[in-house]
């Protein structure tokens, strides 16, 4: 059995985290890997139901997802996690949990600039924020602490979804994980 791993895709809303994660998931499944995608929006309906978007709740959300991802990854699954995770200390705690358990962990910054994200605006959040119908939007009026040393930085504004997924696949290969 090939090794499991957690691949965390962090970045702003509409950066492309979910799209790239599912593209990679398809490619990995074709190659016979076990894969799960732990998508932020889905998680918030179930294991993080009731949590909001305060700093504390965002931290709790990320720790819960990190816990589940590590359980999957240590059992041979590629756990792909397209979740904003705006705070460095939250992300570092997840990395540490993986290191403690000897479970491979990769941090990927989907570094699409806010100017591009706000035009994509998949869920209409940027428009709502601009219209004053929503506050606390990551990267606009809520913090996003950029990863300083991610394992990979993806500039989705300069490449196709397939190219982004391919660069991630290459990284997994280089690390002996695919």
Ligand X SMILES: Nc1ncnc2c1ncn2[C@@H]1O[C@H](COP(=O)(O)OP(=O)(O)O)[C@@H](O)[C@H]1O
55 binds, among Mg ion, ligand X, none (CB under 5 to 8 A by kind): none
- Tell me whether residue 63 or residue 167 sits nearer to ligand X (CB atom): 167
Shortest spacing between CB 21 and Mg ion, in angstroms: 8
Shortest spacing between CB 68 and Mg ion, in angstroms: 17
Residue 123 among known ligand-binding residues: no
3-state SS of the chain?
A: CCCCEEEEEECCCCCCHHHHHHHHHHHHHHCCCCEEECCHHHHHHCCCCCCCCCHHHHHHHHHHHHHHHHHHHHCCCEEEEECCCCCHHHHHHHHHHHHHHCCCEEEEEECCCHHHHHHHCCCCHHHHHHCCCCCCCECCCECCCCCCCCCEEECHHHCCHHHHHHHHHHHHHHCCCC
Q: Which residues in 9-28 contact Mg ion (CB under 5 A)?
A: 17-18
Q: Which residues in 95-124 contact ligand X (CB under 6 A)?
A: 120, 122
Stretch that binds ligand X, among 11-19, 71-79, 95-103, 168-176 (CB under 6 A): 11-19
Q: Using the rule CB under 6 A, which residue among 159, 166, 169, 171 binds ligand X? A: 159
Shortest spacing between CB 1 and Mg ion, in angstroms: 29
Interface ranges with ligand X (CB under 6 A): 11, 13-20, 82, 120, 122, 156, 159-161, 164
């Amino acid at each position: 059995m090939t090794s499991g791993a957690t691949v965390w895709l962090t970045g702003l809303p509409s950066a492309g985290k979910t799209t790239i994660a599912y593209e990679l998931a398809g490619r990995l499944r074709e190659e016979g890997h076990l894969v799960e995608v732990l998508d932020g929006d889905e998680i918030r309906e179930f294991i993080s139901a009731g949590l909001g978007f305060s700093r504390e709740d965002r931290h709790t959300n990320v720790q819960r997802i990190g816990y589940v991802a590590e359980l999957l990854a240590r059992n041979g699954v590629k756990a792909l996690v397209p979740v904003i995770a705006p705070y460095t200390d939250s992300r570092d705690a997840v990395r540490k949990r993986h290191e403690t358990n000897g479970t491979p962990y990769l941090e990927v910054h989907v570094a699409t600039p806010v100017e591009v994200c706000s035009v994509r605006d998949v869920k209409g959040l940027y428009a709502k924020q601009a219209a004053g119908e929503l506050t606390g939007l990551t990267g606009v009026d809520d913090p996003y602490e950029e990863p300083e040393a991610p394992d990979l930085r993806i500039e989705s504004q300069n490449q196709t979804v397939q190219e982004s997924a391919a660069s991630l696949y290459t990284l997994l290969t280089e690390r002996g994980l695919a």
